[in-house]
Amino acid sequence: MFQEEKIFTLRFSLKASFPEDYEGEEDNARWTQDWERLVKPELLRVIFDTLRKHPNWTAHIRNRGLSPLDEIEIALTKDVTKSPLRLH
């Protein structure tokens, strides 16, 4: 079977601003908790909900050895053997 691949990257860069008297990383980057607990899971749900609307595509999370705190890769596969490839 012949396969082709393409990589698409959607990158989020997180940043926080602190008051002048902030003491540094003593709080273990607690400001990222909202991202990890609320925002990131919601984004993943929306992404997978959208992908499920396109039955010719299958999606799963692929682990490439990096921490899910730093990277989540979603692997997509389109099966063109079951439907004609539409270029338009």
In this predicted model, what pLDDT tens digit does every residue of 15-37 receive, in sequence order? 998 888 887 776 778 889 999 99
User: Could you give the angle at the alpha carbon of 28 between the alpha carbons of 43 and 64, nearest 5°?
Assistant: 50
Give mean pLDDT, residues 55-81: 91
Helix (H) or strand (E) holding 48: helix 40-52
pLDDT score of 83: 64
pLDDT tens across 72-88, in order?
999 999 988 766 666 55
Q: Is residue 54 part of a domain?
A: yes
User: Residue type for 26, please?
Assistant: E
Radius of gyration of the chain (CA): 19
From the list 85, 76, 81, the residue with the least C-alpha distance to 57 is 76
User: Residue type for 60, please?
Assistant: H
Q: Is residue 36 part of a domain?
A: no
3-state secondary structure of 50: helix
Residue range(s) defining the domain that contains residue 75: 45-81
Tell me how many domains the chain contains: 1
pTM value is 0.76
pLDDT score of 10: 93
